[in-house]
A and B are shown apart, each in its own frame.
Chain A
Amino acid sequence: MAHQDHGHGGHGAPVEAPPEPEVPETQGSLFNVVREKAEPLRKFVGGGYKDTQLWKSVFRHKLDDSHRNRSLAVLSNVFLHLHPARLNRDAVRYNFTWGMGGITFYLFVILTITGTLLMFYFHPSKGQAYKDIMYLQHDVPFGNLLRNMHRWTAHAMVITTWIHMMRVFLTGSYKPPREFNWNIGVLLLLFTMLLSFTGYLLPDDQLGFWAVTVGTNMARATPILGHEGPLGPELGFTAFNDVRFALLGGSVVDANALLRAYIWHCIAIPIIAAVLMIVHFWRIRKDGAISGHAPVMLESEVK
């Protein structure tokens, strides 16, 4: 296989051919042929794909350990750019932040994915809803897995939201200039609870039915807006025009209530919560990152 350069070496004495390399017995075997043919593929999978234009168009930075490159890697990625390009290492200590805000957000992402998938089998109509849940649990491939992922993640998200709130309170992170973000957070907590509550009715089982019956009965006593609350009757509210009626789409928990719970749960509240989350995360950055000092502002710049 050795190639000799006759262009230069062919004039003088004949060049002695190098000894033929010893051919292993397996050289011509099928295994070796396959290995030889598959070599480009092996190289590609083993890192060669990073040399393609496709890969480079997506990931534009080397892994150089320089400040500039590390900043660029974060700033040029839409997902990473939520993070600051650089931050104080003490600001991300878990024993200070507990990581609860981020965990809550990840749980929300899981809920969005699993919830969207569950929607493919769920009809929000009386009678059919419960059948669909049974169908999901007992027959649809991985339906039980998805339903339980959604259910347990939902429980976890309520818990982590509360713990996040507690941490923010204990570390005094509600104080200026973060007081606005605290209020956004309170709204997010409210919408988390509402997501949990509206999801409760969707299986249309006895548990959810009576939970929502009890929950919406409390809405009767809403001040001013409820027909059993202070000033409610005086303002002309009855069981057929008060806030409970608006929630249920009727005076009892029935088909309209199921459909309303479904739409609030799957569309309206997630959109509202997502918008609030955008504001929440953005303000975290602007108010001095997840923990740490508030940004320095001149007195003339402060309203």
Chain B
Amino acid sequence: MSNDPSKAAVAAGPPPAAPRKVDPAALRPRPPRAKEPAPPLDDKTRGDLARRAFIWHGTAGFITLLLVCFARFFFPRALFEPKTRFTIGYPSDYGFGVDTKWQQKYRIWVCRNASGLFVIYARCTHLGCTPDWKESESKFKCPCHGSGFDSEGMNYEGPAPKPMLRCHLEIDPTGQVVVDTLKLYDYDNAPLRFKDAPPSNKGPLLAV
């Protein structure tokens, strides 16, 4: 640690190339040192440790609390998404065939056949894209992987494994149709509801 520039210059030169001599005794493992019991802590040290633990636990607790808050932050209370239960007007508004006017807003098609009124949830049963209604071919065609469904939502081409699902329908006191897109009917598991059972005023198929 000298500030003398001449000495520093010497020290900065290349080291001498003499081989290092190693004392063999230094290579032998040393016997372990006897452990002395720690002396009892005095009051000041104990106080310091207690204060340190208090600060540390308080800080860790506070940060943990904040992290919990921040996790809750990711789950908003209000959503600005399309309604899942809504009215679509009177049954007499819909004639035979497929009506696509709610597709953009609610992702549904309102359909009528000889049995009655029903609403198909516009979600391909393959991987969840929204198919297109092809009026000229009278079929739903999914643009993603080419699944095809007939005008009642039955799959007949492409990778879709089953027919499209149908929404729950009700008639409200004013006579309008209420659609619930969270309550869906599986075509395969409830064929009676669509085919043989008489249509009612509640369920996937309305007799109106």
Contact = CB atoms under 8 A, between A and B. Distances in A.
Interface stretch (B50-58, B71-79, B142-150, B180-188): B71-79
Interface string A272-299: 0000000000000000000000001011
Given A117-B70, A146-B70, A298-B8, A141 B3 contact: no
A218 interface: no
Q: How large is the interface on B (under 10, 10 to 19, 20 to 34, 35 or more residues)?
A: 10 to 19
Among B8, B72, B76, find the residue whose CB has the most chain A CB atoms closer than 10 A: B76
Given A298-B5, A300-B5, A140 B77 contact: yes
A94 interface: no
Contact of B74 (A120, A139, A296): A120
B69 interface: yes
Contact of B77 (A141, A145, A146, A298): A141
A249 interface: no
A199 interface: no
B8 A142 contact: no
Contacts of A135: 76, 78
A101 interface: no
B72 A142 contact: yes
Interface in A118-165: 120-121, 135, 139-143, 145-146
A131 B70 CA distance: 21
Interface in B1-18: 3, 5, 8-9
Contacts of B9: 300
Interface residues of A, number: 15
A120 B77 CA distance: 14
A143 B78 CA distance: 13
Given A296-B3, A298-B8, A300-B5, A139 B69 contact: no
B78 A139 contact: yes
A140 B5 contact: no
A140 B5 CA distance: 67
A296 B8 CA distance: 12
Given A296-B3, A298-B5, A299-B5, A139 B73 contact: no
A298 B2 CA distance: 10
A139 B72 contact: no
Nearest to B78: A139
Contacts of A300: 5, 9
Contact of A146 (B73, B76, B78): B73
B77 A139 contact: yes
A146 B76 CA distance: 14
Contacts of B77: 139-141
Contacts of A145: 69
Contact of B73 (A140, A298, A299): A140
A299 B5 CA distance: 8
B73 A143 contact: yes
Interface in A25-83: none
Nearest to B73: A142
Contacts of B78: 135, 139
A121 B77 CA distance: 13
B70 to A, nearest CB: 6
A141 B8 contact: no
B76 A142 contact: no
A141 B75 contact: yes
Contacts of A117: 70, 73
A86 to B, nearest CB: 16
A58 B186 CA distance: 53
Given A117-B70, A146-B70, A141 B5 contact: no
B132 to A, nearest CB: 29
B70 A142 contact: yes
A240 to B, nearest CB: 37
Nearest to A118: B73
A288 to B, nearest CB: 16
Given A135-B78, A142-B70, A142-B72, 11 more contacts: A120-B73, A120-B74, A135-B76, A139-B76, A140-B76, A140-B77, A142-B69, A142-B73, A298-B3, A298-B5, A299-B5
30 contacts: A117-B70, A117-B73, A120-B73, A120-B74, A121-B76, A135-B76, A135-B78, A139-B76, A139-B77, A140-B73, A140-B76, A140-B77, A141-B69, A141-B72, A141-B73, A141-B75, A141-B76, A141-B77, A142-B70, A142-B73, A143-B73, A146-B70, A146-B73, A296-B3, A298-B3, A298-B5, A298-B8, A299-B5, A300-B5, A300-B9
Interface of B: 3, 5, 8-9, 69-70, 72-78
- Closest A-B pairs by Cβ, 8 of them: A142-B69, A141-B72, A142-B73, A139-B78, A140-B76, A139-B77, A298-B8, A142-B72
